[in-house]
Homo-oligomer: A and B are copies of this chain.
Amino acid sequence: MTSRARSRPAARPAADAEKEPAARARLEVDERRAQLLALGLSIFSERSYDEVSIDDIARAAGVSKGLLYHYFPTKRDYYVAALRAASKELLDQTLRTTPDASPEQEIECALRTYLAYVERHGPAYVALMRGGIGSDPEVAAVLEETRTTFLGRIVAGLPPEATGPLVHTAMRGWIGFVEAASIDWVARRSVPVEQIVALAKALLFDVLRAATEFSPTNEPAPPKKKTTKKAR
């Protein structure tokens, strides 16, 4: 079934002089899928979910409506896929870290690239973080996954003081802080990036300190296994 392994020369058939809206040729699956995903990303960045109809998307892609449904079972699936792509881009871009950096430096670096992403993709970021469709479980799952990944990186790159439930909630709160501050920052550009970075970094440690301090149910500071490895 799947053993065919079609090896197409990856070159477009013929008349490719056109820009984009006339590329009505037969495309390879991955290519087409990637094209549609990229398009969706840019479209949903500037218009909200139900401001764009499937016909709009199909027209913008120079493709029939039916083809979209060939690649994505539903409009919502399409949206979620685009969202997931955006999330992946954000996560990938904030991953690059110098190998010989202190946890502090890593946090700073990650924050800087995070904010750079926010600055570049302003509306897309807002669209991403503000959810998209109201309370859709899949959409919420993507956002949760993104946040959880960030959270995993943070707690892995930090001294493992404690890992109680309060710390978990506190870290979640900190991520909420960064998101809210980022949105506010990108909306009204009235403050240099460095101040945001410094503020968020300082606050991270404050949060950690306060969280470990306020959770008396946890053992004070048991030196568990050293989890200084970084998370994917």
Binding site for B on A (CB under 8 A): 48-50, 126-127, 130-136, 140, 165-166, 168-170, 172-181, 183-185, 188, 190-191, 195-196, 198-200, 202-203, 206-207, 210-211, 214-215
Contact = CB atoms under 8 A, between A and B. Distances in A.
Contact of A165 (B165, B188, B198): B188
B195 A166 contact: yes
B199 A211 contact: yes
A184 B169 contact: yes
A121 to B, nearest CB: 14
A173 B165 contact: no
Given A130-B135, A133-B133, A165-B188, A195 B181 contact: no
Give chain A's interface secondary structure class: helix
Given A177-B180, A203-B210, A135 B140 contact: no
Contact of A206 (B134, B188, B198, B210): B210
A190 B168 CA distance: 10
A207 B203 contact: yes
B191 A181 contact: no
A139 to B, nearest CB: 8
24 contacts: A48-B134, A49-B133, A49-B135, A126-B135, A132-B135, A134-B134, A165-B190, A166-B195, A169-B190, A172-B180, A172-B184, A175-B180, A176-B177, A176-B178, A176-B179, A176-B181, A177-B177, A179-B180, A191-B215, A195-B214, A198-B214, A199-B211, A202-B210, A203-B203
